[in-house]
Amino acid sequence: MGKARISTLWLSGCSGCHMSLLDLDEALVELLSGKVEIVKSPPLTDVKEHTPVDVGIVEGAVATEEDEEELRKFRDNCKILVAIGDCACFGGITSYRNLFDKDEVLSRVFVETESVVDGKVPASRYVPKILDKVKAVGHIVKVEAHIPGCPPSPRALLYALKELLEGRIPILPSDMASFE
């Protein structure tokens, strides 16, 4: 088998999961020098379009219409989809917004916040419309593997990548299922 083609996607979240991927350090360099080709990844490339890949890795929750659209396009181009981090796996911190009505959230952020002067909820094509509820990735598309953590440890991510490269869907051992 040639190099495995991998792309990553960053939805509504903090980018901590991508930072954990970068924290693989020398192991990432080793993977890239023979086993893996990174086709698209926000911290590494400026590629906008989704193209077919062997493995898609997604972080972040689905909080906006744009997130949902991008996720569906991404899924259509991935043989295997891996959700990494608590936001992608379960909704995470981002889903705390679900405790409130969407209109309450928009009003608080854009109208009522103490630093706002003459605030109004933006209506621009440049500001994505938020969904009524934040969702985990698996509530929108099929996901083959979940690597939880906030963020998942580089050790857990490396384990998952190695399993995928061996043709196995990773099932995280319990000692890797929490932050180190």
Q: Please write down the HEC assignment for all residues of 32-50.
A: HCCCEEEEECCCCCCCCCC
Cα 19 to Cα 43: distance, rounded to the nearest angstrom:
8
| Domains of the chain in sequence order | 4-95+131-174 (3.40.50.700)
Cα dihedral 34, 36, 37, 41 sign: negative
Prediction pTM value: 0.91
Q: Is the pLDDT of residue 2 over 60?
A: yes
Q: What tens digit of pLDDT does each residue of 31-90 get?
A: 888 888 889 998 888 888 999 999 999 999 999 999 999 999 999 999 999 999 999 999
Confidence of residue 179 (pLDDT cuts 50, 70, 90): low
Q: What tens digit of pLDDT does each residue of 124-147 get?
A: 888 889 999 999 999 999 999 999
